[in-house]
Amino acid sequence: MKLLLDENLSDRIIHRIIDLYPDSAHVKTLALTNTDDLIIWEYANTNNFVIASKDSDFHQRSLLYGHPPKFIYLRIGNSPTSKIVQILRDNFYTIILFWNSEVESILVLM
């Protein structure tokens, strides 16, 4: 399972979670910064990513269209990168269960 981190998350997170989430990427490394959410959504869908973001727009899109792609909504406000890394690491098994669920589209982490 691989994550696609939105631009509102630091690209420095990737090297700190790659051991748990191989082949994960940041929109910056894929030249998708300042790109419409629909394009990121379609890219994630086509390339089998789970989107991780603090952006409520993805939350709305996920409610409207379901999955794929799946969406991890990080409801954490302005938090340091270390806290985001810790949330993604601490919730690894929850995220795997979410990934394997056939009915869940959104996972909210706080």
Residues of the chain with pLDDT under 50: none
Q: What's the pLDDT score for residue 105?
A: 96
pTM of this structure: 0.95
Do the bridges between strand 49-53 and strand 2-5 make them parallel or antiparallel, or are there none, so unpaired?
A: parallel
Question: Do 43 and 76 meet the contact criterion of CB atoms below 8 Å apart?
Answer: no
Q: Which of 105, 16, 107 is nearest to 69 (CA)?
A: 105
Q: What's the pLDDT score for residue 40?
A: 97
pLDDT tens track for 64-74: 999 999 999 99
Q: What's the pLDDT score for residue 21?
A: 98
Q: What's the pLDDT score for residue 75?
A: 95
Q: What's the pLDDT score for residue 56?
A: 87
pLDDT tens track for 26-44: 999 999 999 999 999 999 9
Q: What's the pLDDT score for residue 42?
A: 97
DSSP assignments along 11-29, one per residue: GGGHHHHTTTSTT-EETTT
Q: What's the pLDDT score for residue 88?
A: 98
Question: Do 67 and 76 meet the contact criterion of CB atoms below 8 Å apart?
Answer: no
